[in-house]
Amino acid sequence: MTTTHSTTPRVALVTGGSGGIGKAVVERLAKDGFALGVHYAGNKAKADAVVEEITASGGQAIAIGGDVADEHAMEAAFDAVETAFGGIDVVVNAAGIMVLAPIAALDLDDLDRMHRTNIRGTFVVSQQAARRVRPGGAIINVSTSVTRTQLPTYGAYVASKAAVQGITLILARELRGKDITVNTVAPGPIATPLFLEGKDEATIANFAKATPLERLGEPEDVAESVAFLAGPARWVNGQVLYTNGGLA
């Protein structure tokens, strides 16, 4: 008896894939042989550069734009990936925005912007993923460890990311029988522009010291967790994986 192995690559769509954690995830999944849909919200040049990097190394990737909170744009994004590569196996929701301020002082327009991208965007993309991801696939959302550490000024951001975790836990159970896992990665302090913006050196140093490993995380640290959930972790489902260097 002979066994044949498919040479067709698995396919992943990564929202926010042109920078920060999303870019690291794209690069890590490319190393695992995935064909990639690299999503961007506004900076096509950055997404094109990531695609060029992957294809130059012998991989497969396309850039796709659109507002994650717009269901029509995301339907078109999923269509584009399926047309290019024949289907979708993994969806990573890495797109997100963060505005920090005390609850008493936060501009409500900023609250609405975070909720649109972080909650509605995750919901819209998850909805498409639930309809389209192939059996054996995975849906991976990105939250934050501040849902546990409860730092001041993070109230609105944590509210949006706690919703992401809630969506994850429900969707994992709604997809019973589909052979699709749904999990959330909750990073600690990661050295990305999103995290570093507006923080002085003393604040950044305090964040680094807060973990037992006494450093900030790197986007690649989070990408390793995503690759685990996207690949071998078939018995991990409906969970929040705190990727934070031991932060409480």
Give catalytic status of residue 154 as yes or no. Answer: no
The active-site residue out of 40, 154, 157, 242 is 157
Give one DSSP letter per residue of 137-182, joined into a string: -EEEEE--THHHH--TT-HHHHHHHHHHHHHHHHHHHHTTTS--EE
> Cβ contacts of residue 203 below 8 Å, gap of 6+?
none
Strands (E), the chain: 11-15, 35-40, 61-65, 90-93, 138-142, 181-187, 240-243
- Helix 219-230 vs helix 20-31: crossing angle, to nearest 10: 50
Alpha-carbon distance 32 to 2, whole Å? Answer: 25
Beta-bridge partners for 65: 40
Beta-carbon count within 10 A of 120 CB: 17
Q: Provide the annotated active-site residues.
A: 157
